[in-house]
Structure 1
């Protein structure tokens, strides 16, 4: 699990940097200020949760947990990046408003992922 989530985290971080640079240099003149802010929110949350995936990988090694709540928490962070950030990227580039309905599902994945990660850490303490 550690290698997989470490790789996912690093790849998501790489993509966040590339997309952030793309927004700053390639989209600034093409999107409204609001839509550029939407895109940048996706980049910011992608980076936060990329680092979260790396943390899950480290926790897995340190706590000796290879499954259960920690694994599920990592999966939810990974899925949340696609749903939350991905929907914001497509929304800002396409203007398709109904895609905004997908974003909260990604947010729920983030919340549940962090809750399971906290639970796994708490359980390991005992």
Structure 2
């Protein structure tokens, strides 16, 4: 049995590259498109995405954590990234997207809840280690 989870590590490294690209777009491409408050919000999405990508890399390599814990944390963090960071990106660009974005506001805290659930599931998995 491997001491690492290849699927989590591949996903995390690809997400890290995507996060850098999204962050570069936010730092350079948004200046002339949106106001400063929107840029700060966008940066929050990028920051939280990268925090959780780094956590996934660590979890992917972590020994002693059960496969069940790894998979649940992976799922929760991916949902958190999609809903929390993704909704912030779309809300920042709402005037440029071709659909009604009002439904996105309530999605952001749901994504945050998935982040919290992932951390709590990781805590539970660590407590269960004998």
What TM-score results when the alignment is normalised by the length of structure 1?
Answer: 0.89
**Structure 1, unpaired ranges of 5+:** none
* Contact 2:91–2:104 (Cα < 8 Å) also in 1: yes
Q: Structure 2: 5+ residue runs without aligned partners?
A: 96-100
Aligned partners of 1:114 and 1:100: how far apart in 2? Answer: 23
Instruction: Tell me the C-alpha RMSD between the 2 structures.
Output: 1.5
> Does the residue aligned with 1:63 lie in a helix, a strand or coil?
coil
Q: Is the 8 A contact 1:53 1:78 kept in 2?
A: no
Give runs of aligned pairs for residues 1-126 of structure 1, distance below 5 A.
2-59=5-62, 62-63=63-64, 65-66=66-67, 68-95=68-95, 96-124=101-129, 126=130
- TM-score normalised over the length of structure 2: 0.87
**Greater fraction of residues in helix:** 1
Per the TM alignment, residue 57 of structure 1 is displaced from its structure 2 partner at its CA by: 1.0
Displacement of 1:97 after TM fit?
Answer: 4.1
